[in-house]
Amino acid sequence: MLSQAFAAPIIILEDKAYVGGKGIDNRQGKVTDFLIAGRLSQNAALIEIKTPKTRLLGTEYRAGVHGVSQEVSGAIVQVATQRDSLLKEYCGLVHKSAEPFSAFSPHGLVIAGNLQDELADMERKQSFELFRQGLRDVQLITYDELFSKVESLLESLEGG
């Protein structure tokens, strides 16, 4: 299912993967929900999973303008922090990994919320899409979008 969020086949390197960040006091380590890699390229990516009930947008900021929810913005910063940690500590981490992987500008993915349930009106959809399309190293996809991709794949395979 997770592979449907990416353009190429993936392998899961580790769930609850440590990606660096501990200080000399052995605290503050960064852990991602899933550390994956492209099956062919071996390039790493980080996945953070929230629930389908996660609110996508917060309160209205100005007339017709909605900010993203605190949980979504926090998840995006969390993945960006994990990515930064992975890049800084890649050499030490890859040598201790059972599976080889690379970290050539690793991609981040946040799976959260449900677009159809929450974004019923055009203003909310616009605010969400403007925010999401402005992200650089982290992709934001909702559960219903991910399920729709899987359904489309199954329909294609079944010839429908």
Assess contact for 141 and 109: CB atoms under 8 A.
yes
Does the pLDDT value for residue 10 go beyond 90?
A: no
Assess contact for 21 and 30: CB atoms under 8 A.
yes
Cα-trace Rg, the chain:
17
- Of 26-40, 41-55, 103-117, 145-159, the one with minimum mean pLDDT is 145-159
Assess contact for 57 and 104: CB atoms under 8 A.
no
Q: What is the mean pLDDT of the chain?
A: 90
Q: What is the mean pLDDT of residues 82-89?
A: 94
Distance between CA atoms of 121 and 76, rounded to whole angstroms? 24
Q: Which residues of 10-19 are buried (b: 16+ CB within 10 A; e: fewer)?
A: beebbeebbb
pLDDT band at residue 2 using 50, 70 and 90 as cut-offs: confident
pLDDT of residue 75: 97
Q: Which two tokens mark 4?
A: 């449907």
